[in-house]
Amino acid sequence: MAEVSPDEPTDRLRACLKQYWGYDDFRPLQEQAMRCVMEDRDSVVVLPTGGGKSLCYQVPALCREGLAVVVSPLISLMKDQVDALRECGVAAACVNSSLSASERMEVASAVRRGEIRVLYVAPERIVQERTKDFLEDSNLSFIAVDEAHCISEWGHDFRPEYRELKGLRERFPDVAFHAYTATATERVRSDIAENLGLKDHELLVGSFDRSNLFYRVERRRNRLLQIQKVLDRHQGESGIIYCISRRDVDELSETLNDLGYKTLPYHAGMDAEERQKNQEAFIQDRTETIVATVAFGMGIDKPNVRYVIHAGMPKALENYQQEAGRAGRDGLEAECCLFYSGSDAQLWRRILNEESAGNIDAAMASLEALDQFCTGVSCRHRSLVTYFGQDWPDEPCNACDVCVGDLDLLDNPLETAQKIVSGVVRLDQRFGGDYVSLHLTGSRDKRILENRHDQPSTYGILQQHDRRAVRDWLEQLVSQGYLEKVGEYRVIHVTAKGRELLRGAASPRLLQSRKRKSTAEASAEVRRESWDGVDRGLFERLRELRKELADERGVPAYIVFGDATLRELARQKPTSIEEIQEVKGVGEKKLRDYGDVFTQHIQAYLKNDTDPNRTAKAGVSKNTGRKISSASRRAWQFFRDGMTLAEVAETTGRASSTVTGYLCDFLQSEARTDPLPWVDADTFERVRTKATELQTDSSKQLFEALGETVSYDEIRISLTCVANELESCSQ
Ligand code: ADP
Ligand code: ZN
């Protein structure tokens, strides 16, 4: 930006930022973006989710005369924004189809009286002639278009009504337009400018890196346990778990609740009312975790999401960036964990092929990019940022599993890689990755024996390694171009580069997952930093207070104070109005509304700081969650030891259906294709044959078809093994 002196508008913007929001500094590019608004220069502002786009137009709206109009696509989003603005003392309102006629009239007359500073309007409404006429008389200062990628067919969320916004521009040629989006691609950006008819606009593109996010990518081995670990690291905090299918959402949510976690499901198959209820419970912190399909998230601006788990792989790197990006919008550290399996990518390939609508090559390319992101061996921050076309310094980020050394490189990768590639050659390049790894690890799998694939010299050549590890290496060799997957069945072929590797002329990289402990340690490290100096007891106390106040007002807790501010309060422990107004995140209105009650609670807390009862009590309530989840982990250990269902039910004190659930998760996580000793071989064979014959996985149907001679529990267990078998054959 050109040097401007004296910096009068910036001073005004800064004062306003402090007065209403209690923030001292701009986030990157906010100042420049706000200056565009102040100076009536059209602009396109591209900032990642959580980058602080809303303030780019909200702050200048208060520093200028007249009415700022914001076009925003979602009613829920509008409502949240308006609530948040009002809590900061900003006169804001919205007009959309959820308002009654009389409510709309009220808003209109408030606008006429000049009382409203920021007005949110739905796109379909703003393009109506009536609305335009109304705006003509409303001393319009500028128009902000939120989620502006909706205007582009190349974005992931095209909305035709956005196209009509050009008419608005024609009607108000002298009013500046400002577009905001988190979608980075060049194509979308130029679409926005063109379709809005922008003139000599300023283009501001922020860094796509989200430095407060810690990325972790793991192959799915033991899904439930992997998820539980993340949840245990974030007790009492908000998070989202994304699943691919609706059924998976329901089942996982239920299992986690059985284990003592507080979760609610969300997917498009639920009835609208229940869905809405669950969403609100999440936003208002009444449930900690939401288990959802990707239907969840658009328009959810909850800033204090501390983790996002992907229980399956999304269909494109763009989607991943967006979904994971819902973590840590408040700028505090948050964790994004992706648990993937080779079969996910395959599933998506199949779906994309079947849909075969739109641009299939582009869709496949971004699926491949994600696949490589998962199996790759370079910094996750770097991979994401460079995929979106930005540069990344050649330095470790210290915020991903690769850079903190959670993943070790193998000492003798060449030798191992050669063994794998030889195996592919020996099997005549006719099989998928799963089969090749069965062969290399010396499995007695039926198919291997039937095909006499226990004969070639590469059989069992990697038998000292876990089959999953070998499977992972295979993927890593694919991602480095030594092997390739060909055709619908993803048969593994050796590339020219792979043949060089056999001659020893290559330096492949293979990862080895280190012991789990370091993962937890690394994460603890990140957490420790931003909790530095925070009195956790006080934090919990203030969090309860925040919740009470929020409930009284019927707003989400973070609207009272965000987590960052709450931590700051529990760090600085202000006990007077003078002190609390210095705290970041406490603006004038919040000072008036909450200054007294918070300082009083802090005073009371400091007086009782040594009260042992309080600490003890907190310990107990937290323990319940942990106790229950350890029950399931104990159960897994018992299964490993071969205990029967009845024994495990008795030892853990859980109902037999719950224990069956644990067992199914256990079998799935271990990819066991054989249910012995929990179901005998005969029974299993009967269930398997019937399931194949009827092409069903409905327990009820099988129960009936088998003349009610096999119990539901036995059917469930057998079906899990059948599914594992299918999964292992599917490559
Ligand atoms: P986006 O719309 O880009 O996803 P938001 O506008 O919702 O991001 O901002 C994300 C969070 O960051 C909000 O809680 C907001 O209050 C906070 N925030 C924005 N700007 C600043 C700033 N300059 N200093 C501190 N916090 C900020
Ligand atoms: Zn990294």
Atom of ligand 1 nearest to the CA of 51: 3
Question: Which of these three, 370, 403, 436, is where a domain ends?
Answer: 403
Atom of ligand 1 nearest to the CA of 301: 7
| Residue matched to tokens 């990140």 | 526
Domain housing 481: 408-513
Q: Say how many Å lie between the CA of residue 262 and the centre of ligand 1.
A: 28
Q: Which of 13, 55, 212 to mutate to test the pocket of ligand 1 (most atoms within 8 A of CB)?
A: 55
Say yes or no: 439 and 549 in one domain: no
Q: In angstroms, rounded to a whole number, what is the distance separating the alpha carbons of residues 492 and 429?
A: 6
Amino acid 5: pLDDT: 46
| Ligand 1 atom 25 nearest Cα | 23
Query: Is 308 within the bounds of a domain?
Result: yes
Say yes or no: 131 and 35 in one domain: yes
| Ligand 1 atom 11 nearest Cα | 330
Say yes or no: 668 and 536 in one domain: no
Ligand nearest to the CA of 17: 1
| Ligand 1 atom 19 nearest Cα | 52
Atom of ligand 1 nearest to the CA of 30: 23
Would you list the DSSP string of 93-140? EEESTTS-HHHHHHHHHHHHTT--SEEEE-HHHHTSHHHHHHHHTTTE
Atom of ligand 1 nearest to the CA of 25: 23
In this prediction, residue 278 has a pLDDT band, given cuts at 50, 70 and 90, of: very high
Atom of ligand 1 nearest to the CA of 303: 14
Say yes or no: 338 and 193 in one domain: no
* 315 pLDDT more than 70: yes
Cβ neighbours of residue 2 closer than 8 Å, sequence gap 6 or more: none
Comparing 447-456, 533-542, 624-633, 645-654, the range with the smallest average pLDDT is: 624-633
Amino acid 598: pLDDT: 95
Would you list the DSSP string of 383-451? HHHHHTT----SS--SSBTTTTTSEEEPSSHHHHHHHHHHHHHHTTT-S-HHHHHHHHTT---HHHHHT
635 close to 648: Cβ distance less than 8 angstroms: yes
Instruction: Return the structure tokens found at 449.
Output: 């024996």
Pocket of ligand 1 (CB under 6 A): 23, 25-27, 30, 47, 49-55, 301, 303, 329-331, 562
Ligand nearest to the CA of 31: 1
Q: Say how many Å lie between the CA of residue 307 and the centre of ligand 2.
A: 17
List pLDDT tens digits, range 544-559.
Answer: 999 889 888 888 888 8
Say yes or no: 56 and 113 in one domain: yes
Say yes or no: 396 and 537 in one domain: no
Q: Which of 370, 376, 394 is nearest to 321 (CA)?
A: 370
Query: Is 519 within the bounds of a domain?
Result: no
Ligand nearest to the CA of 213: 2
Q: Which of 44, 329, 333 to mutate to test the pocket of ligand 1 (most atoms within 8 A of CB)?
A: 329
Amino acid 623: pLDDT: 29
Alpha-carbon distances of 118 from 110, 182, 371, 560, 630, rounded to whole Å = 11, 21, 43, 20, 50
Amino acid 310: pLDDT: 97
Ligand nearest to the CA of 384: 2
Comparing 268-282, 286-300, 414-428, the range with the smallest average pLDDT is: 286-300
Question: Which of these three, 480, 513, 546, is where a domain ends?
Answer: 513
Query: Is 561 within the bounds of a domain?
Result: yes
In this prediction, residue 618 has a pLDDT band, given cuts at 50, 70 and 90, of: very low
In this prediction, residue 311 has a pLDDT band, given cuts at 50, 70 and 90, of: very high
Query: Is 536 within the bounds of a domain?
Result: yes
* 307 pLDDT more than 80: yes
In this prediction, residue 117 has a pLDDT band, given cuts at 50, 70 and 90, of: very high
Give the orientation angle of helix 517-530 with respect to helix 223-233, to 10 degrees.
20
Ligand nearest to the CA of 25: 1
Q: In angstroms, rounded to a whole number, what is the distance separating the alpha carbons of residues 241 and 249?
A: 9
Atom of ligand 1 nearest to the CA of 331: 12
Atom of ligand 1 nearest to the CA of 54: 6
Q: What is the CATH number of the domain that holds 416?
A: 1.10.10.10
Q: In angstroms, rounded to a whole number, what is the distance separating the alpha carbons of residues 516 and 455?
A: 36
Amino acid 338: pLDDT: 97
Query: Is 318 within the bounds of a domain?
Result: yes
Q: Does the predicted model carry a pTM greater than 0.85?
A: no
Q: Which of 678, 682, 651 is nearest to 666 (CA)?
A: 678
Say yes or no: 165 and 143 in one domain: yes
Say yes or no: 695 and 580 in one domain: no
* 75 pLDDT more than 90: no
Q: Say how many Å lie between the CA of residue 653 and the centre of ligand 2.
A: 43
Atom of ligand 1 nearest to the CA of 48: 3
In this prediction, residue 632 has a pLDDT band, given cuts at 50, 70 and 90, of: low
Amino acid 529: pLDDT: 52
Cβ neighbours of residue 389 closer than 8 Å, sequence gap 6 or more: 184, 185, 186
Q: In angstroms, rounded to a whole number, what is the distance separating the alpha carbons of residues 699 and 704?
A: 9
Q: Say how many Å lie between the CA of residue 563 and the centre of ligand 2.
A: 25
Amino acid 517: pLDDT: 33
What are the two backbone dihedrals, phi and then psi, of residue 335, each rounded to the nearest 5 degrees? -120, 135
Amino acid 617: pLDDT: 31
44 close to 151: Cβ distance less than 8 angstroms: no
Query: Is 444 within the bounds of a domain?
Result: yes
List pLDDT tens digits, range 464-501.
Answer: 888 878 888 898 888 778 999 888 788 999 999 999 99
Q: Say how many Å lie between the CA of residue 21 and the centre of ligand 1.
A: 10
Question: Which of these three, 403, 432, 450, is where a domain ends?
Answer: 403
Q: What is the CATH number of the domain that holds 386?
A: 3.40.50.300
Q: Rounded mean pLDDT of the chain?
A: 85
Say yes or no: 296 and 437 in one domain: no
| Ligand 1 atom 24 nearest Cα | 23
Most confidently modeled of 422-426, 508-512, 715-719? Answer: 422-426
Mean pLDDT of 586-615: 80
Comparing 7-11, 151-155, 205-209, 660-664, the range with the smallest average pLDDT is: 151-155
23 close to 585: Cβ distance less than 8 angstroms: yes
Query: Is 523 within the bounds of a domain?
Result: no
Say yes or no: 593 and 698 in one domain: no
3-state SS, one letter per residue, for 637-692: HHHHCCCCHHHHHHHHCCCHHHHHHHHHHHHHHCCCCCCCCCCCHHHHHHHHHHHH
Alpha-carbon distances of 194 from 42, 43, 124, 182, 524, rounded to whole Å = 12, 12, 19, 18, 47
* 110 pLDDT more than 80: yes
Say yes or no: 189 and 257 in one domain: no
| Ligand 1 atom 2 nearest Cα | 53
| Ligand 1 atom 18 nearest Cα | 52
Q: What is the CATH number of the domain that holds 674?
A: 1.10.10
Query: Is 652 within the bounds of a domain?
Result: yes
Ligand nearest to the CA of 397: 2
Q: How many domains does the chain have?
A: 5
Amino acid 552: pLDDT: 86
Q: In angstroms, rounded to a whole number, what is the distance separating the alpha carbons of residues 641 and 277?
A: 43
List pLDDT tens digits, range 5-62.
Answer: 446 888 999 999 999 999 998 998 999 999 999 999 999 999 987 789 999 999 999 9
Q: Say how many Å lie between the CA of residue 705 and the centre of ligand 1.
A: 58
Alpha-carbon distances of 628 from 169, 260, 622, 632, rounded to whole Å = 59, 6, 11, 7
Amino acid 633: pLDDT: 65
Burial of 544 (C-beta count, 10 Å sphere; 0-12/13-18/19+) = exposed
* 694 pLDDT more than 90: no
Say yes or no: 25 and 139 in one domain: yes
List pLDDT tens digits, range 392-445.
Answer: 887 888 899 988 877 767 777 899 999 999 999 999 999 999 899 999 999 888
